[in-house]
Structure 1
């Protein structure tokens, strides 16, 4: 009899690995992007500072220390005091709070307006597209900064109204981009299928168009935060934004510019806060852009 060979177990069938989702791919790219972590860490520290920084000092933004007016940084006043004895640290924290609120609300709000109008125009075509395109072109021609200056009397000095105006005047460029992207997406099979199945315009835009341009919207919303903070600071610097007794980084810069050489702490601390904040947001936005669309530029990570 022939010796019986031991039975060999059949090799298990190797299952094909499940392809990673787009979100996971983007996150993997971000994990290996140092500037993302630097920007996100600094931005998180600024948010924590704005939330809890006021508890680190006994002074409020409106308190006056008449015995220490125009004093440089000391243990009592970490960032010094101004000509009226206000604690500069407390005022910067208060101004940072307003800047972050305006940036984190007005920036994404402008992106939402751009997404809705741009996607609707690109999907509708015809007269609907022409009307919205005309509105976009009109808003692009008009200088947004001077429009905000002209509308300032109607804000009644309210920074909340100014925040709304910033959102309403900051959506046009992205709307044009979304409109062009949508005009190519509406010829895709899944959009045509949804249309033939009887879905309405807004349903198609919300379910099929906007999710496919979400990458662009995320980048725009992130960079829009920095743009809105800079816009608010510029308006407040020239006296068309936040008004006393409220303070913002723009008003602090305006008050400290004349003393930049004689009492430099009045200008350097607000300016340094603004520059580092905008740089951190820009690093996060730049890293997101390269992670979402690696062909947008040379990946420096």
Structure 2
């Protein structure tokens, strides 16, 4: 039991940090530009595929750094030559633009890399155990992903709170016109933030590709959960996205790891029910994919602004 708790906690933190890495870029883009980007998860997928292709040429580690830069550059170009023009027509046009862009990216990925998964894996030495507990190994790569994700969180906090660029970004959130009147190029700042947000999505893809799977459906599998994270955490709140990512990651991981049914849980709190009934026999593992959306519904009912969101005036 102790082994299950320890490894489920580690895997839940790992999954949660990957979700945060992906959702932080979306949160940053929404909080600054008011754009709910439906193509965000597609750039997560693109990051994995670009890292796979670059890795075959320059090696794993150079690809680890180059792939997010490539994805971020593509994001900046999309903002400058596409979304910036669409922005003039309102939020509906932005949603339709990013919605269509997601499908275009998905089709391009299948045309270039094929409709099946590719063998994007970490080097063999990173699969060696970082530590062994009760006969179960925890790989170096998994530990490294947790470390890099945590460092990314610290770097993002420092960038936004302690640097001049972060000051300009935070000022532009609420007083964009004033920042422009002070002589700063706000459209260029928006383009940089957009590219940076998609670079974070690409970095999540570089990390998540070897852990999960690098295949054309990877954007569709994580895309809805990313929006759940943003809403549960509070629209535009990076700290809320962090808490929501860890919460969803831990809940899903523990549900998958626990060999129990709804009836077992009810009996555990003193209710005498049949653990093999039509409803009470449902296992927690089968409920795991639903838990983010159940949490979303509960949040929208009882706390519509999210965990750390602010009330609108």
Q: Same fold (TM over 0.5)?
A: no
Higher helix share: 2
Bigger relative contact order (CA 8 A; separation at least 6) = 2
Bigger radius of gyration among the two? 1
For normalisation by structure 2, the TM-score amounts to: 0.30
